[in-house]
Amino acid sequence: MKLGLVIDLDVCVGCHACAVACKQWNTSGTLGALTDYAPYGRNPSGVWFNRIRHYEVGDFPHNKTVNMPLSCMHCEDAECVNVCPTGASYKRKEDGIVLIDQDKCMGCNYCAWACPYGARELDRAEGTMKKCTLCIDRIYDQYLPPEERQPACVLTCPAHARHFGDFDNPLSKVSQLVRERGGTTLMPELGYQPTNHYLPPRPTRPIDTSAEKQTSLMHKVKEWVNKLITT
């Protein structure tokens, strides 16, 4: 079994709901509080497992904003695990999830330097590294209904851009999405073999922004409004 996420960049709206849900669940979960630094100050910050980057691609007027969530990729050959001097970082054989043993971690930052995805953060209050756990305390909770045994970010996504499942199962939804939409991993050339996949944005249809087109549209809108008023 190889558990992970598929993220559809074509429908992600960059609302940050996944990041907030992740923060809320993990703060109240088994890891304890994810520290906030000066949350009500001028420069608030804190520990986040999910972060969303925003990129503008293409040339105006045919450009497009791509919202790209980033978290731990749960790599097959995780360099963060390889460099950890205490063995705190490890990859589970039964499902491929990469975790950190908080009792062994000494906060040396080696794993954060080794991770090219920026997925690990030092909790300065706790003195240990923290990262996405795929909500392991949730997905295996037998007291939850089966449909709720998913990461908090997947359950809360309003655009249904996030999907969770077993990549070792060719019939799973995540495997089918990757095949059908040409899903890819991030920076595969590094050789870490990330488990999480991204579905690429579909090509955008060019929009006619000429003055003639805008005048025609306004004329049609006025006709429609007048028709509503007179009926």
Domain parsing of the chain, residue ranges = 3-230
213 pLDDT more than 70: no
Residue 161 is predicted with a pLDDT of: 97
The answer on pLDDT for 30 being more than 70 is no
Q: Above 70 in pLDDT, residue 32?
A: no
Q: Report which of residues 103 and 32 the model is more confident about.
A: 103
Query: For position 154, what pLDDT does the model report?
Result: 97
Residue 25 contacts residue 138 (beta carbons within 8 Å): yes
pTM score over 0.85: no
**95 pLDDT more than 70:** yes
Q: Are 75 and 196 in contact (CB under 8 A)?
A: no
State yes or no: cis peptide before 61, omega within 30 of 0.
Answer: yes
Tokens matching residue 29 = 């979960």
Contact predicate 164/152, CB 8 Å = no
Residue 131's nearest CA partner among 173, 78, 168, 56 is 78
Measured distance CA(27)–CA(121) in Å, rounded: 14
Other CB atoms within 10 A of residue 72 CB: 27
Residue 13 pLDDT level (bands cut at 50, 70, 90):
very high
Question: What residues form DSSP beta bridges with 130?
Answer: 121
Q: Which fold has domain 3-230?
A: Alpha-Beta Plaits (3.30.70)
Q: Are 9 and 66 in contact (CB under 8 A)?
A: yes
Q: How far apart are the first and last CA of the chain?
A: 62
> 118-158 pLDDT, tens per residue?
999 999 888 999 999 999 999 999 999 999 999 999 999 99
Buried b (16+ CB within 10 A) or exposed e, 149-169: bbbbbbbbbeeebbbbbbbee
